[in-house]
Amino acid sequence: MHSDLREIMLTEEQISGKVKELAGRISEDYQGNSILVVGILKGAVIFLADLVRNITIPVSIDFIAVSSYGKASESSGVVQILKDLDQIIEGRHVLVVEDIVDTGLTLKYLLENLSTRKPASLKICTLLDKPTRRKADVVPDYNGFTIPDEFVVGYGLDYAEKYRNLREIGVLKPEIYSKI
Q: Decide if pLDDT at 71 tops 90.
A: no
Task: Give the 3-state secondary structure of 146-178.
Answer: ECCCCCEEECCECECCECCCCCCEEEECHHHHC
**What per-residue confidence (pLDDT) applies to 57?**
98
Quote the pLDDT of residue 81: 92
State which residues form the domain around 75.
Answer: 5-177
- Categorise residue 61: left if φ over 0, alpha if ψ from -120 to 50, beta otherwise: beta
Q: What angle do CA 145, 151, 156 make, to 5 degrees?
A: 65
How much of the chain exceeds pLDDT 70, in percent? 94
β-pairing verdict for 93-101 and 35-41:
parallel
- 73-127 confidence digits (pLDDT tens): 555 567 889 999 999 999 999 999 999 999 999 899 999 999 999 999 999 999 9
CATH code for the domain in which residue 166 is found: 3.40.50.2020
Q: What is the total count of domains within the chain? A: 1
CA angle 66, 73, 163 (to 5 degrees): 80
Supply the DSSP symbol for 17. H
pLDDT given at position 68: 72
Catalytic residue flag (residue 102) = yes
Catalytic residue (choose from 50, 99, 102, 129): 102
Can you give the pTM of this predicted structure? 0.92
- pLDDT at residue number 67: 79
